[in-house]
Amino acid sequence: MKEIIFIIITFSALGIFTLPKRSQYYQMLVTQIFLIVVTGYLMYLSFNRIGPLQIYLFELIGNDVSLVIDSLSAFFIFVINITILTGALYSKGYLKPYLRDKTRLEMAWHYFNFLLLHISMLMVVMLREGISFLVFWELMSVAAFFLIIFESDKQENKDAGIKFLIQMHVAFYFIITAFIICSIATGQNIGFDSLEQYFKTYPSFPVFLLFFIGFGIKAGFIPLHTWLIHAHPAAPSHISGIMSGVIIKMGIYGIVRVLTYIHSDLMPIGVFILIISIISGIFGVAIAIVQHDYKKLLAYHSIENIGIIGIGIGIGVMGLAINNPVLASLGFAGGLLHVLNHALFKSLLFYTAGSIYQQTHTRNIENLGGLMKKMPATAVLFLLGAAAISGLPPFNGFISEFLIYTGLFKSLMVSDSILSVTLLAGIVALAVIGGLAVFCFTKIFSIIFLGTVRSDKTRHSHEVRSSMLFPKFIIGILIIAIGVMPFLMLRPMAFVAGVIVDDTSSLRDMAGTMSGISLSLSLLIVFIGILLLIKLKLSKVRHTDIGPTWGCAYTGSDPALHQYSATSYAEYIIMKARLLVGVKKHFRYLTKEKIFPSETYFKTESSDVFDDNLISRPVGGLLSFMEKIAVFQTGNIQHYLLYAIVFVIVITIISIFGII
């Protein structure tokens, strides 16, 4: 049975290369649906049993390689599948304009890598054995790399892809180092199973730190996030959505999986995760506010949300440390539910961003405006995603943050003072992050969709075709469903959290609160619906005139030019958080002496302080150092022979004198 499935998948994947351009997509889609069905079945099987589902695959260098699926893996399978499915459905419409210019091979390669990404991610969450895990982890990065540089005619995309690949390899080395340490120390095979033994006998923090760095680069914690901010804007939008939706969650999966084996040193680990997550959250959202490129903005938001997930996981670990099952289960449940929620609304946001890009060909929000009238469905879906990411009820972001808040508040009472301060910091941080997220999304939604056009770029925009809208609707329905009926998620999340936490009864106790929330939210929605109906009925009866916006009766220019700009809206944050967000203004203020101003310009630029100091400067320094050394590379054979002779002489002298 397994062999048949394996053969079907392999031939199906390779078969993409043989088909004409139009059919390649359907081949990929069918294969993916097949994968989803298979893994869905496995997921279903794993939920209704005690202990994980084990399926033996094959033998590798003397180790058994099996699929081990527990509730955590099953949960991630669900997240992966739903995001890849919607991404695939969306990509049909998004890639259509590219079909003309790309060759058959290029498109096939793209679809093939898409499929490969799907397969490798599924395998990553289902495998425990070390070598196969690492192989598929690498395959995932490589597949993602090829997907990112889809538009490789632009140099900046290739640079972003290379940065991604290099950082993924750095992450890989950290992970493999950690695995090797565990394996050698315990004498077992490389793999997650050796962790169990290792963490029982040795201090947990150092190796955990290695794992955290490795998986954290993938997840995008600060200061390990610098690949994210370049890769997301460079990739085509359906890939950006999937990247933010699931690829970075693989890092989270890794961290949580490692945590399932740790039973000592929990407090320092928990506090460490909490602090890094708080920094990621606040820093991520603050920089997002000053961005003008909406894809970069959404990328920074992913960092912020990883921070929120991290806060949930951090406090979960702290809960385990002090044996507080309420804190532990609510923290983990909240954090992991946020994984699903973020996958949903972030992919929705990236897909809508892709629709905007397809229509306007610009990523600079200062050039957009008034798209609400031209692309109403996209606008509403974007608004839905924006409200969800800001954690507003009745959407799903609210539910996961609510779980984390509940855990924090419930534990605040029963903790000692130092722990209380930490928990309070968590609450405050979460609140600040939520507030700043609303600030950021009001800015981006209003500048892009509301008002009127700011430049010619939006003149020819119209609503996108329904094949692109359909997957977004699916996501929207799920967002609202989780938001309005949160009690549906309680039992599944209890199972998932049960992998780490023994006593998840507090989650079941939340059922009452959740039902209360869902009741009030449903009433709210019904009330709004009634008001809308009344308004529609009344406006049909009254006479309506349409005229230009009142602009104080100025007849000279287009009132559209007198709209708020994104920089102006963000100016408040820029002023208060100048050091944090690293915004530089290029402007000569008009002095008191200058009565009549002459020509001047105004420009702001923001830079990422970590990107500058950790990556750009050292790399720049290294490159300039290399350029100095490059004088040796003269291209002249005689010189190289000279180097060889010199080397031999030096080695001889050294050996004679016994230095080595």
* Site for other proteins, rule CB under 8 A: 292, 364, 366-367, 454-455, 545, 547, 550-557, 559, 561-572, 574-575, 587, 589-590, 592-593, 595-604
- Cβ nearer to other proteins, comparing 580 with 614: 580
- Cβ nearer to other proteins, comparing 15 with 559: 559
The total number of residues shown for the chain amounts to 660
- Cβ nearer to other proteins, comparing 601 with 632: 601
Rounded to the nearest whole angstrom, what is the least distance from the CB of residue 558 to other proteins in the complex? 10
Query: Checking phi first, is residue 370 left (phi over 0); if not, alpha (psi -120 to 50) or beta?
Result: left
Distance CA 206, CA 424 (A): 27
- Cβ nearer to other proteins, comparing 233 with 369: 369
- Cβ nearer to other proteins, comparing 18 with 568: 568
Closest to 468 in 3D by CA, of 27, 95, 79, 32: 95
- The owner of tokens 């997930």 is 309
Distance CA 311, CA 262 (A): 18
- Cβ nearer to other proteins, comparing 417 with 591: 591
> What is the DSSP-derived secondary structure letter of residue 223?
T
Rounded to the nearest whole angstrom, what is the least distance from the CB of residue 188 to other proteins in the complex? 58
Token pair listed for 435: 């507030």
Q: DSSP for 57-84, please give it.
A: EEEETTEEEEEEE-HHHHHHHHHHHHHH
- Cβ nearer to other proteins, comparing 526 with 561: 561
> What is the DSSP-derived secondary structure letter of residue 504?
-
Measured N-to-C along each axis, helices 325-360 and 396-413 cross at an angle, to the nearest 10 degrees, of 150
- Cβ nearer to other proteins, comparing 591 with 636: 591
Contact assessment for residue 206 and residue 264, using Cβ atoms and an 8 Å cutoff: no
Token pair listed for 78: 């669900």
- Cβ nearer to other proteins, comparing 77 with 581: 581
H/E/C letters for each residue in 242-276? HHHHHHHHHHHHHHHHHHCCCCCCHHHHHHHHHHH
Query: Residue 605 is inside which H or E element, if any?
Result: strand 603-606
Rounded to the nearest whole angstrom, what is the least distance from the CB of residue 115 to other proteins in the complex? 41
- Cβ nearer to other proteins, comparing 420 with 563: 563
Rounded to the nearest whole angstrom, what is the least distance from the CB of residue 584 to other proteins in the complex? 13
- Cβ nearer to other proteins, comparing 47 with 569: 569
Distance CA 211, CA 237 (A): 30
- Cβ nearer to other proteins, comparing 399 with 566: 566
Rounded to the nearest whole angstrom, what is the least distance from the CB of residue 539 to other proteins in the complex? 13
Cβ neighbour number for residue 587 with a 10 Å cutoff: 11
Rounded to the nearest whole angstrom, what is the least distance from the CB of residue 593 to other proteins in the complex? 7
Rounded to the nearest whole angstrom, what is the least distance from the CB of residue 287 to other proteins in the complex? 17
Rounded to the nearest whole angstrom, what is the least distance from the CB of residue 363 to other proteins in the complex? 14
Bridge partners (DSSP) of residue 129 are 191
Instruction: Give CA separation, 77 vs 69, 122, 137, 186, in Å.
Output: 9, 6, 15, 30
Token pair listed for 285: 């959202």
Rounded to the nearest whole angstrom, what is the least distance from the CB of residue 159 to other proteins in the complex? 25
* Burial letters 466-501, b for 16+ CB under 10 A, else e: eebbebbebbbebbbebbbbbbebbebbbbbbbbbb
- Cβ nearer to other proteins, comparing 444 with 493: 444
Terminal alpha carbon distance of the chain: 59
Rounded to the nearest whole angstrom, what is the least distance from the CB of residue 605 to other proteins in the complex? 10
Cβ neighbour number for residue 648 with a 10 Å cutoff: 10
Instruction: Give CA separation, 34 vs 24, 246, 468, 561, in Å.
Output: 15, 19, 22, 52
Rounded to the nearest whole angstrom, what is the least distance from the CB of residue 347 to other proteins in the complex? 30
- Cβ nearer to other proteins, comparing 360 with 378: 360
Rounded to the nearest whole angstrom, what is the least distance from the CB of residue 382 to other proteins in the complex? 22
- The owner of tokens 């096939």 is 108
Contact partners, residue 246, CB within 8 Å, separation at least 6? 79, 80, 83, 84, 121, 343
Rounded to the nearest whole angstrom, what is the least distance from the CB of residue 299 to other proteins in the complex? 20
Contact assessment for residue 160 and residue 234, using Cβ atoms and an 8 Å cutoff: yes
Distance CA 208, CA 49 (A): 30
Q: DSSP for 85-132, please give it.
A: HHHHHHHHHHHHHHHTTS-HHHHHHHHHHHHHHHHHHHHHHHB-BHHH
Rounded to the nearest whole angstrom, what is the least distance from the CB of residue 500 to other proteins in the complex? 46
Helix residue ranges, H only, 455-559: 466-484, 487-497, 505-509, 511-541
Contact assessment for residue 31 and residue 12, using Cβ atoms and an 8 Å cutoff: yes
Rounded to the nearest whole angstrom, what is the least distance from the CB of residue 294 to other proteins in the complex? 15
- The owner of tokens 């081990």 is 68
- Cβ nearer to other proteins, comparing 11 with 572: 572
